[in-house]
Amino acid sequence: KVTINKPVFRIGKEVRAVDWTITGNPVVSRNHLDVITRGNRYFVKDLGSKNYTYVNNIKIPDNMEYEVRKGDNIRLANEELVFDI
């Protein structure tokens, strides 16, 4: 379980550049995804990752915010997360 504790929360594998590090997965990008909080709404934004980001099996466009809701499946390349706010 990861707590989103800032307005823009970055996920990836670059320890010094992200807020939550995914380790041991070579297909996740160093700076893969931002989770953006606006009030009680949440968005994900793929940061031009090599292996893409999917929400509920839909590939989201690079650098474009995509709204997510509780229970949505977020996949960074082959790393799967469930959004639960």
List the alpha helices (DSSP H) in the chain. none
Q: Give the span between the Cα atoms of 48 and 6, in whole angstroms.
A: 21
**In the predicted structure, residue 1 carries a pLDDT above the cut 90:** no
CA angle 82, 64, 24 (to 5 degrees): 45
Distances from the Cα of 43 to the Cα of 19, 27, 50, 70, 71, angstroms: 16, 22, 20, 11, 13
pLDDT of residue 75: 97
Instruction: Dump pLDDT digits (tens) for 10-49.
Output: 999 999 999 999 999 999 999 999 999 999 999 999 999 9
Instruction: Dump pLDDT digits (tens) for 45-80.
Output: 999 999 999 999 999 999 999 999 999 999 999 999
